[in-house]
Amino acid sequence: MQEIVEFLRSIWGLWLMSLFLGTVAWAYWPRNRDRFAAAAMIPLRDDPPRQPRGQGAEHD
């Protein structure tokens, strides 16, 4: 059991670096560009006007 723990301790940095690089590659992958560009614009979009309750708006 001690050998396994020592082995895992020796490769944790490599594992974290691989995870980080995989995340960065996924974020910058050309196929994801449109999705991330649309998500980046969410805070800048205007919300549609809300109808007051009881004014014909259906509730869930």
Instruction: Domain of residue 26: give its range.
Output: 15-40
33 within domain boundaries = yes
- pLDDT, tens digit (0-9, with 9 covering 90-100), for 20-59: 999 999 989 999 989 999 999 999 888 778 887 766 555 5
47 within domain boundaries = no
Does the predicted model carry a pTM greater than 0.85? no
Q: What pLDDT does 55 receive?
A: 62
What Rg, from alpha-carbon coordinates, does the chain have? 23
24 within domain boundaries = yes
Contact 32, 26 (CB under 8 A): yes
